[in-house]
Amino acid sequence: MSLLLSSNNIGNCELKNKVVMPPMCMYKSDNSAKIKPFHSFHYTSRAIGNVGLIMVEATAIEPRGRISNNDLGLWEDSQIAGHKQVVEQVHEFGSKIAIQLAHAGRKSLVKQTTPLAPSSIPFDTNGSFKTPQSLDLEKIALVKQLFLDSAKRAKEAGYDILELHAAHGYLLCEFLSPLTNEREDIYGGSLENRCRLTLEIAKLLKEQIDLPLIVRISASEWKENGWDIEDSIYLSKELENIGVDSIHVSAGGNQKEQDLMPELTALYQCDYAKKIKENINIPVIAVGLITTAKQGETLLEEKVCDFVAYGRELLRDSNLVFKFAKEFNEKELIDNSYLRAYL
């Protein structure tokens, strides 16, 4: 059997294959931030298509933590029911499902609220993004509690895995970077201090929520003197030490101008995943313009990662795993209702 289509675990959660649908914002909710019929069909269709792990898009822990007014949220109990329905539908077809808990920080474009950030530095100066309010220690404590409360709701909804969003320039990522964190208290300055909030939240979730935990990071912010791969290796080791079950390795997103950004070619972020995997013992998820079965299989064979995230390709083709099963001559993995399309 191919490595890509064989099973593996994240924590105590067994996934039937190593194909991951990473979180991708759909912007299909409204100001209620509740699950809509679109989300049910969107995620369930990938379960019908045999994806091993389906990750629900960035889901905000408070209203001002949304990226937009059309994002999902899980900050109140009335939002649980929709998530529970999606989870049950995905489980009906044998896939596992995770939720990415997030706070947009200074990149929030929600109309009614003022963004929060480690320091009062706007994402850009052209007027598209508001100047954020710097968090005081009391509000930082509240953010930690909001992550925990949302995680409890996710557990109640039946999710198999949690993902903590510390990538792409959102709140926790902003704390990590010396370019967006100019604090002079215990959450700023040294690398240890800048990592503190992400580690505290991850530790809180591991201690109080009995679910595997993934943390998504941006391995580099592609900016001189900014967050880089060596910082990411340090953070990943610390996350492993507190019991985090997997690191999901992306990059970029924290700066409007990314001077050191590489050319966007196939597998352009996978070297980051490899370097992190070489330094930790928990599974690593790679992402970054991965589109083919051969690419995924090679990444696993060469121990670049343990799971392969297909983002845009799973937007194009909800039955991507069936296509891979045909390529690997493992047609028994294709649902019999679809088999005639792959003869």
Alpha-carbon span 46 to 25, nearest angstrom: 15
Domains of the chain: 8-342 (3.20.20.70)
- The answer to whether 54 and 100 have CB atoms below 8 angstroms apart is no
What pLDDT is stored for residue 125 in this prediction?
A: 80
Q: What's the average model confidence in pLDDT over 157-166?
A: 99
Q: What's the average model confidence in pLDDT over 68-90?
A: 98
What pLDDT is stored for residue 237 in this prediction?
A: 98
Torsion sign (Cα): 36, 37, 40, 41 = negative
pLDDT digits (tens, 9 = 90+) for 48-61: 999 999 999 999 99
What pLDDT is stored for residue 128 in this prediction?
A: 87
Mean pLDDT of the chain: 97
Please classify residue 316 by burial: count the beta carbons closer than 10 Å to its beta carbon, then call 0-12 exposed, 13-18 middle and 19+ buried.
exposed
Pairing status of strand 19-21 against strand 307-309: parallel
CA atoms within 13 A on the CB side of 254: 32
Q: What's the average model confidence in pLDDT over 161-189?
A: 98
Confidence of residue 31 (pLDDT cuts 50, 70, 90): very high
Q: State pTM to two decimals.
A: 0.98
pLDDT higher than threshold 80 for residue 127: no
Which position has the higher pLDDT, 256 or 209?
Answer: 209
The H-or-E segment that residue 240 falls in is helix 229-241
